[in-house]
């Protein structure tokens, strides 16, 4: 019975039907069963999918209070909820709670926290998390770097964004279109058209398909940086 309920919670959560998911979770109690770590994790994940951080945090608190044994997976789901619900301060608090419980955040946990900082335009917070991740002997992924680059762009640190991008390459992490777009967008905000154009050329040389985001960012960088001829050339291409 428990396995079926957990599967139902997961299925509803993946469709962002968080309220229905929580009703199924409540059925566990009504059936005089004790929800385990898997049920809590899926219920918190359902709240994350629907960007409902308050509900996710309430479940995490309940999980700890009932002695179900707080897990890395449950914390990761809660941090993800804080990311999607734009609660970066709370995401960082959860990392602190994990440290107090001697729980090691996973790559996914750090990634969700860095993403939360990017959404909130907290560049320095994102940079600090990237370094703390390395202090924990974890190798940041391309996605982690891309989120931190995005945070730098949104937070007015275009130089830091480019530095992170080059650091990725030095580590033999091949930037994908998302990483390129985040860095080019940071250049656009920093009004550095020459760097944006250089990155655009680099991207196409790697057979990565520029997206609408790429073109808009490069064109905007050229317009803001006084390079109208480059805009005309890009439009012609």
pLDDT of res. 236? 67
Q: Say yes or no to pLDDT of 34 above 90.
A: no
**Residue 62 pLDDT grade (very low, low, confident, very high; cuts 50, 70, 90):** very high
Of the chain, the percentage scoring pLDDT greater than 90 comes to 79
Residue 191 in this model has a pLDDT that exceeds 80: no
Token pair, residue 33, equals: 């069963």
Name, in order, each residue with C-beta under 8 angstroms of 202's C-beta and a sequence gap of 6 or more.
180
* pLDDT tier at 64, thresholds 50, 70, 90: very high
The CA–CA distances, whole Å, from 62 to 23, 35, 190, 235, 237 equal: 15, 11, 45, 56, 57
pLDDT exceeds cutoff 90 at 91: yes
pLDDT tens for each residue of 197-234 = 999 999 999 999 999 999 898 988 888 878 777 767 77
Write down the mean pLDDT value for the chain: 92
Other CB atoms within 10 A of residue 55 CB: 20
Note the pLDDT of residue 221.
87
More confident residue, 190 or 36: 36
Between CA 124 and CA 155 the distance in angstroms is: 8
Question: Per-residue pLDDT averaged across 168-182, rounded?
Answer: 94
pTM of the model: 0.88
Identify the sign of the CA torsion 103, 15, 90, 176: positive
**Joined tokens for residue 156:** 């007015």
Q: What average pLDDT does this structure show over 77-84?
A: 97
Beta strands in 92-209 (DSSP E): none
CB 34, CB 18: distance < 8 Å:
no
Residues 94-150: pLDDT tens digits?
999 999 999 999 999 999 999 999 999 999 999 999 999 999 989 999 999 999 999
Residue 71 pLDDT > 80, yes or no?
Answer: yes
- Is residue 190 pLDDT above 70, yes or no? yes
């Amino acid at each position: 019975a428990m396995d079926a309920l957990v599967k139902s919670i997961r299925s509803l959560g993946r469709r962002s039907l968080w309220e229905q998911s929580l009703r199924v979770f409540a059925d566990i109690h009504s059936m005089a069963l004790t929800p385990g770590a898997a049920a809590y994790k899926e219920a918190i994940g359902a709240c994350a999918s629907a960007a409902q951080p308050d509900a996710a945090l309430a479940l995490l608190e309940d999980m700890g209070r009932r002695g179900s044994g707080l897990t890395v997976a449950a914390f990761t789901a809660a941090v993800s909820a804080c990311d999607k619900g734009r609660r970066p301060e709370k995401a960082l608090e959860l990392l602190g709670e994990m440290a107090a419980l001697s729980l090691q955040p996973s790559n996914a946990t750090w990634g969700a926290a860095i993403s939360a900082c990017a959404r909130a335009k907290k560049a320095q917070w994102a940079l600090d998390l990237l370094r703390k991740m390395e202090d924990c002997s974890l190798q940041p992924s391309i996605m982690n770097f891309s989120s931190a680059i995005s945070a730098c762009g949104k937070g007015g640190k275009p130089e830091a964004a480019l530095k992170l991008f080059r650091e990725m390459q030095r580590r033999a992490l091949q930037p994908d279109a998302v990483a390129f777009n985040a860095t080019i967008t940071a250049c656009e905000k920093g009004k550095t058209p020459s760097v944006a154009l250089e990155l655009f050329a680099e991207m196409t040389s790697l057979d990565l398909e520029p997206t609408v985001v790429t073109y808009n960012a490069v064109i905007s960088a050229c317009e803001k940086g006084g390079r109208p001829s480059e805009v005309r050339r890009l439009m012609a291409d």
